[in-house]
């Protein structure tokens, strides 16, 4: 396998990857994957390393070391890309690994926002208003990432058949949870799976529409552009903006932009996505 083909194989797919991942983080992480590929290093170990740097970012932010925090957050995101690319190339990804990878994203995000809340509230002296702004920005980011992940997984399912739909996925994880009940020392893994099942059910409730009887080509043609727009509300965009505004030491710009601009575009994208889904339902009913 040539180097370019190997790089392509390490990706989820060009049309579902975030632009900033493709331009910045994935090329760097691919070089790291090539360096460690022959060693007995697992994707889960890389995920934990990413989490370590993510928590370190929060600590640095809490003490007001924004520039260093931004640099460490950059490293954290690179390793967050490494684990998935390594798993795809080695074909050793697991259900638990998928959950750990997603959970670590939330741990890193929580660490970053808690650190920002501590430092900004101490700097401003207005603890109540500062924490309200930080919490609103954090919640806004969660919802923006949530919907991007949902529509990306749906796109992968319809176009590439790479992931099961939510009903199938929930069923698979329930079976895995039952299997782990009979094994000793697997309580933590079962706990993670049960949490993931609840998260998946929440996703299902947020967009409870009928399955579409459309071809992969039809779905791709209609959704490729809107998915690219959704990707600008993904986790990598948020992390990159945090890195930039922390280095220039104006992190408050990121917080306000996430609340105002990010949520505005999220609502616009949701409205357009609803229009597309209703159109597909109509087409499915006419076939």
Q: What mean pLDDT comes out for the span 122-146?
A: 94
**Can you give the residue range of the structural domain that contains 49?**
3-161+214-286
Give CA–CA dist 153/155, Å, rounded: 5
Residue 177 lies in a domain: no
Which has the higher per-residue pLDDT, 270 or 94?
Answer: 270
Q: What mean pLDDT comes out for the span 132-139?
A: 97
Contacts for 7-11 with beta carbons within 8 Å, 24 or more apart? 9/88, 9/89, 10/84, 10/85, 10/86, 10/88, 10/89, 11/85, 11/88
Q: What angle do CA 218, 223, 229 make, to 5 degrees?
A: 165
Provide the number of structural domains found in the chain: 1
The per-residue pLDDT for 129 is: 95
Residue 172 lies in a domain: no
Residue 171 lies in a domain: no
CB atoms within 10 A of CB 105: 21
The per-residue pLDDT for 173 is: 72
Residue 128 lies in a domain: yes
Residue 109 lies in a domain: yes
Q: Which CATH number do you get for residue 88?
A: 1.20.120.1760
Residue 193 lies in a domain: no
Q: Is pLDDT at 29 greater than 70 in this prediction?
A: yes
The per-residue pLDDT for 210 is: 52
Give CA–CA dist 286/213, Å, rounded: 10
User: Which tens digit of pLDDT belongs to each residue from 207-237?
Assistant: 554 566 778 888 889 999 999 999 999 999 9
Residue 208 lies in a domain: no
User: Which tens digit of pLDDT belongs to each residue from 167-183?
Assistant: 666 777 777 777 777 77
Residue 188 lies in a domain: no
């Amino acid at each position: 396998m040539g180097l370019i083909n190997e790089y392509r194989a390490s990706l989820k797919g060009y049309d579902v990857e975030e632009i900033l991942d493709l331009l910045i983080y994935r090329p760097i992480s691919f070089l790291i994957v090539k360096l460690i590929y022959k060693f007995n290093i697992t994707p889960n170990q890389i995920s934990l390393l990413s989490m370590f740097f993510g928590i370190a970012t929060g600590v640095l932010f809490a003490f007001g070391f924004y520039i260093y925090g931004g640099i460490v957050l950059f490293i954290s995101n690179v390793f967050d890309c490494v684990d998935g690319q390594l798993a795809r190339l080695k074909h050793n990804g697991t259900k638990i690994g998928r959950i750990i990878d997603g959970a670590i994203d939330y741990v890193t995000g929580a660490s970053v926002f808690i650190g920002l809340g501590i430092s900004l509230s101490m700097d401003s002296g207005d603890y109540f208003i500062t924490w309200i702004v930080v919490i609103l920005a954090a919640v806004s980011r969660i919802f923006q990432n949530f919907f991007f992940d949902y529509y990306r997984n749906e796109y992968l399912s319809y176009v590439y058949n790479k992931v099961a739909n939510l009903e199938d996925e929930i069923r698979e994880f329930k079976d895995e949870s039952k299997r782990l009940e009979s094994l000793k020392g697997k309580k933590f893994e079962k706990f993670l799976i049960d949490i993931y099942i609840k998260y998946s059910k929440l996703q299902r409730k947020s967009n409870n529409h009928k399955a579409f009887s459309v071809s992969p080509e039809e779905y791709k043609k209609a959704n490729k552009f809107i998915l690219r727009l959704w990707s600008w509300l993904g986790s990598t965009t948020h992390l990159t903006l945090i890195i930039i505004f922390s280095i220039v030491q104006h992190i408050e710009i990121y917080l306000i932009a996430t609340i105002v601009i990010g949520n505005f575009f999220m609502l616009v994208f949701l409205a357009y996505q609803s229009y597309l889904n209703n159109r597909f339902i109509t087409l499915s009913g006419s076939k």
